[in-house]
Structure 1
């Protein structure tokens, strides 16, 4: 049984008891592993018990930790569990929800699978703190689609291309025409194609497919949950909640609400996440590790002081941690530079009968490298290889980048030689990034050229990764040429490619050009730019004290559908501080957006308060 014990001293010295061992709770200075945030704050839902959420307001400091993964928030109803970023908004996704092996078989294999790698787009295959299973659509589908049967693969590809080539709002008519032409569209077709659209972050098209399916197929609870997920991503949480009210009661179960919960976690909406969690309890749904992991993920990004209390509540509800829970705790310790505590959690994990996986080892090795424990990192890498990397091929995706971070070009070369002849897309991405870390740009470019030779049209994700390498090395001309190649080759310019292009110009000192690119993308309305694309430009204006342009980016973010967060206001107010401009009505604006300032933001607001009292003003008054 998983036990927790709280001490009476402050949390940063408090001990958490897991099984038979105690680990000192991590200090809480570091922030999200996804965005290098300045201080952020949020407010807890009043429905939470005082025991569960000990304070109503909380903050955390900027993360100085090593940023080691960036990913997507997969579909929460993939019950078992999952995650993903970033909201690519942090960003439509957090990379930390789980996927089943069945889903992976369809989603991220080499070019002889259902959808060729050349079809996989920007949203695919991000490195994840894996654990949460993608239970929605594909856990059973992979078994039904025979790898030897070529016809289903061709059928899926033809249907997918028809959907991709259709005008954005005509998906239902495309499907009607597809059926009129004598083609079948069954539930497996919907699942596979919908999954591919999700990976491309084409949520609007995926939602239209589900709406069409509702009129043609009998639905299960997970089908409804899938639609809730898409509505939340496309139309917002309020519309998703209204749709839930229309779902037949027999299908309005725990999977539907956990989906809504995950979509509250994506934009870090703490109040709504707590409301949904409490609603699940009031409806007496079985509370699984998935729901608790979602809240752990949320507090990991917003206020780590809450993690210990959440673990205590988890124990009281007799919910056992799974591999994802432990990975979250290990990562939290690592980001807090508490390497000893991280090692203790790993030992407890083993004592509780949960064996570390490659993702666990990847997290540990990354933090060892960040903390300069290179010998420990090398030992973990040898353990991941298992004596022969050829026999443990799934670990190569991690080994490539980790050896790159260690600065070991010979080992990167050795692992790449194992993968090179039949490397899948994830290994190619890791190789490009690893060579970039080693300042070997030519080798990174060669990976792309080999992919071009193997596949007619490599994933845009590959181009985006190489673009980021160019940005790191301020190679603006090379980056622009690469984007031109993408366009000439018919490769889709997605949100991640746009983000890399924005960063490329910012790193080269061309902030206005980056701003113009982002504005064009926003006006075209063919895709939703990433949250990070906006904030990267906004920070540059803020550093210059350019209030006008900082406000302009703030407004564009709202127009693009990103709800206001503490971080946006921090960057905006910083522009006022540096520009020595009074911020009229800033407190009222924050209140209207339900933003509760943390200590750092409060101090900045004092500096730009147009009505602040000074010694001189007191005399003059």
Structure 2
């Protein structure tokens, strides 16, 4: 019956588990008779086959068949389960345990049930472990499995079930060792029931169960938590030299002494803490406590030990800065802040600079504190709301300089940290820290639009800004808000007209805003009207307006007007934007001026596309002008390699060698930071070759014509200039002269 229940529970566990357990199998080798050695061999098979994706049961079955009918030693399987469990491979250990039960390898003992309970709890959870516990016959429920169940409940802080299990163990007579008592003491400690801890300790004494190190440490922590120094010191004195104080126990006892004002005893206890292994989480607490009970040397000693762990975090830095400031070591805190934390690469923790800023203020270093706060708020890594920082900045009667806040808001805007900038602007306004100017309202209007949207920006303009504050900067900001979308073009035009009524059209900025909107909407006529109005008011267009005007003309293919303004403004140092160049290039392409498009486009990809189109349209009739345009454009776009390749394929127009084409490349190579003499010589050599080839073709054509028309003519003198610069005179018939020219020219090459 017991075996049937266990097998049924095994099948339910396998069905419950959603994870497939995969292993490979071995087929070679024999198994020794030693249980530990045999288990090691089996375990090595499982380890080596971990990537083979074969079920672990196949490995076990193959191993079983290799025994050739021999009785399997259960110790081998038990050792395997133990090794897998110790290496944190709980699922695999549970699979082996399932297989062991399914094949009835042996009669199960208490240790088998306990091991299986722990595996089930770890892999499948406490509920499945409880079901397994209920399936175990009562005569097999020993101390170990009850203790394991009790420990599960204490970890979960399930007081009712833990007390019920402890009561059952008491009634059965299984409370024979400290472990179950320690579990209950830990649970009562966690739920602050000191009286229950005393009851457990009394019961241990009554049952002659010896206290162990864990028992004493738990009791000391309980007494420390309620500041019962008398009971704490009495218990420690009784067990001094017998048990080892844990790190957390020493820290809790030091806290108890500090609460009682006993700094000397607290420091002594902290020094004892250093005798034990200090876990990483305890360093921050140790630093904090030394700040209350020790000296600067203590803090720096612990900090040096902490740095040796190479696991520094913000908790440690916060504890260090807090302690150094308590010990009046502002210089030390400042040095570590800038030399260690600022460049540590840790996640930004706003509390750390706030601690240092508070230290500055306590010393009267208000300007240092303000600068640190500004730097902290500007930090782009700090994405959380800055209200807490601002409150810290403005509390205790600190005077916030208007220039600081205006500079801060501007810097946050420039770095596009609009939510922070708006929070700072709102904080200034709500607390009436200083008198606001129209420019302050304009800045806040801009921020509200960016963060909260147009509707809230309009509400702020209409309800929160008084008429006497609505100057040029406020209206200009509102106009910019409206000109960002064609949906608000009517409001933009109304605002522009209002600014004209108020006499605010004094510079190019409002024109710029409206022209940009009209340009995007392809409203060329309105753009040109505004340009005329600027001329009437003697307002010179800036570079942005020039680009908008050129673009809108390009959009509608108003080529004559576009080129007119382009020529005019190029004399005024016009700088074409990428969008403008691309728009003009498309306009030129649309009207068939491919070479002009090549010259103006901003994209190498477009240059090659247009060049391919040009070559397709001019097969057999490629012009020098085309090569000049494409090479010049590629060099402008820093594609020297591409320009060189185009030059290599260039064939001069018939009878015309254009020296400007190689000059483009030669000039570029000469301008490079490291003069490229080799490439310059290559270009010159190739140029001479192309020139000689052109001259040869010319002479051939002349000779053909003269030979065809002039045979039989008398003797004539003829001067022949060779390509090398040498001149010779040939006398004879024209036919002979022509023949001589051909031979001379041919020989010169």
Is TM-score (shorter-chain normalized) higher than 0.5?
A: no
State TM-score, norm by structure 1: 0.37
Length-normalised TM-score, structure 2:
0.32
Structure showing greater radius of gyration is 2
The structure in which a higher percent of residues are helix is 2
- With CA pairs under 8 Å and 6+ residues apart, which has the higher RCO, 1 or 2? 1
